[in-house]
Structures are given as structure tokens and as C-alpha cells.
Amino acid sequence: MADVSEKRATFRALHEAGCFALPNPWDIGSARMLEHLGFKALASTSSGFAWTLAQSDYGMTRELTLAHLAALCGAVDLPVNADFQSGFSATPEGVAESVRLAVQAGVAGLSIEDRNLEAGGALYDRATALERLRAALAAVGDAILVARTEILLDDPTQVSAAIDSLVAFADAGADCLYAPGVRKPDDIRAMVKAVAPKPLNVLALDLSMSLAQYSDLGVRRVSVGGALARVGWAAVRAAAQGIMGGSFAALASGAPSRELNGMFATREVS
């Protein structure tokens, strides 16, 4: 098993050049499967994890999230980037404490959002978001800090405002920038240029675009959020609906037990 420092060094090297896919497992099994398939790094998904406990996104406590992150990091040799929501605190001091705990859990990177969950999900003003970001930076150590703005998830037309926030976050010292919701190639290209030489993460929303196309736009990493978990839930729902209707035909699409047993028998979970 690779140690934490090795994972973080590997993760940082991935951000120096090229473009890589960063899929989001929702539990240990899905993490181990993605590692088996050959991905270079993984990222947690707050929504995907919440659904495994029959909760909605943003319904997880810090304690549950930290335990989940420690389990993911201990299950694979790959670096894991944490979807760490808004740092589980409204204050910079609380964010710093949360970040220190995530680093202790073994993450190679983590993202901090500018959404104020205690104010009904509104975004923090720029000055407050930067204060929280600087507190996170002081606590993150050798892990990568991803600064993200949620503005495009609220209003997809606010690309310029999103870019302004990302530039401010980059200037404050964030290692990687992320504005989930950007879709158009021209907007992505402009975002890449604005934060350069810092790397940009893009959420794969335009499913017609390939990893190679994102690479051509200058994107460094492409994540999928809760999409893989949603694919899994949709498959189970469709099969169960078939059973409710009297048909078991959908079960034929399941992965062979021997293949799964072989995949998961390769290493114990630490």
C-alpha cells in the first residue's frame, strides 16, 4: 500500500501537465473497481456517499464524511481528492479545523465550496470566501486545495462572475480551480486562460465531449460528481421495476460474480 506522502506526490504530479479523468466512487467497492480499471486518481462524491445512507446531498455530518474519506483512502493505492463541501463550518477557524482532520484522514486533495449552507445555500461574498480559503490553505499541508465556486449551479449565465471568483481564488494561493456548471467550449477555454498557470477542474456535463476534447481546451482534470452513482442507482431501479412487473430479464446484465470476487480479493482494506 502506498503511503500518504507518495499518494500526494503522485497527485501533485498529475496536475503539472496533461489531462486526466477523475472518477467519483461512492464507497470502498466502487473505489476498488475504479482502481482495478486503471484510473490514476479518484475523487469522493458527497451526493453519492449520502445516497448510500439514504440521505440527500449535504445531509452528511463532518464525522461521517471523515470516516468515509479515511475508508476510501485506506482501500486504494490511488490518491483521493475529497469533495469536502463547504468545510463543515461557517467560520474560517472551523474550516481550518475540518481541513486538518481531512488531511489526517489521508486525502491527497480536497475542495472547498463558497456556498453558505447556514444561509440557505446562498454564496459567501468574495471577501468572506477568500478568508475561508486562506484558512484552508494554512491547514492543508502538502495536500492539494481545490477552490470552487458554485455560482454556475445557481445561474449558468454567470460565467464572467465565476471566472472572477476563480481568479481571486488562484491569486490567494489555491492549487486548483473548479466552477461546476461550465459547459461551452469557449467558456471553458476562457476559464483555463484566466486561471493559468493554475490547473482547472471541469465537471463533465456535456456528455458529447471526450477527454481528448477537454485536454485540447487546456483542462487538467475532469470529474463526474455523483453521475457514476446515479448510473448505478438507475440500473438497480430499472431491474427492480422489471421484477415488480414480473420479469427478471434485466438481471442478465449483471457483472459475473467470479469477476467481482477476483477484483475484490486482491488486497485487504486497511
Beta bridge partners of 223: 22, 203
Q: What is the mean pLDDT of residues 5-12?
A: 97
Q: What is the mean pLDDT of residues 32-52?
A: 97
Q: Which pLDDT score, from 0 to 100, does residue 100 have?
A: 98
- Mean pLDDT (the chain) is 96
Res 184 pLDDT > 70: yes
Res 246 pLDDT > 70: yes
Percentage of residues in the chain having pLDDT higher than 90 = 93
CA–CA gap between residue 148 and residue 174 (Å, rounded): 10
pLDDT category at 257 given cuts 50, 70, 90 is very high
CA–CA gap between residue 86 and residue 118 (Å, rounded): 10
pLDDT category at 269 given cuts 50, 70, 90 is low
Query: Is residue 22 within 8 Å of 219, Cβ to Cβ?
Result: no
**Considering only the top CATH level, what class is 4-226?**
alpha beta
Q: How far is CA 264 from CA 30, 34, 76, 150, 226, in A?
A: 10, 11, 11, 36, 22
81-106 residue pLDDT tens: 999 999 999 999 999 999 999 999 99
Beta bridge partners of 66: none
Q: Is 122 helix (H, G, I), strand (E, B) or coil?
A: strand
Res 1 pLDDT > 80: no
Q: What is the mean pLDDT of residues 23-32?
A: 97
CA–CA gap between residue 117 and residue 128 (Å, rounded): 14
pLDDT category at 2 given cuts 50, 70, 90 is confident
Q: What is the mean pLDDT of residues 54-75?
A: 95
- Provide CB contacts within 8 A for 267, sequence distance 6+: 1
Q: Which pLDDT score, from 0 to 100, does residue 70 have?
A: 98
pLDDT category at 268 given cuts 50, 70, 90 is low
Res 266 pLDDT > 80: no
pLDDT category at 171 given cuts 50, 70, 90 is very high
Q: Which pTM does this prediction carry?
A: 0.94
Q: Which pLDDT score, from 0 to 100, does residue 270 have?
A: 58
Q: What is the mean pLDDT of residues 42-69?
A: 96
Res 267 pLDDT > 90: no
What is the separation of C-alpha 148 from the centre of its chain, rounded to a whole number of angstroms?
11
Nearest CA to 81 out of 116, 121, 53, 39 is that of 39
Res 145 pLDDT > 90: yes
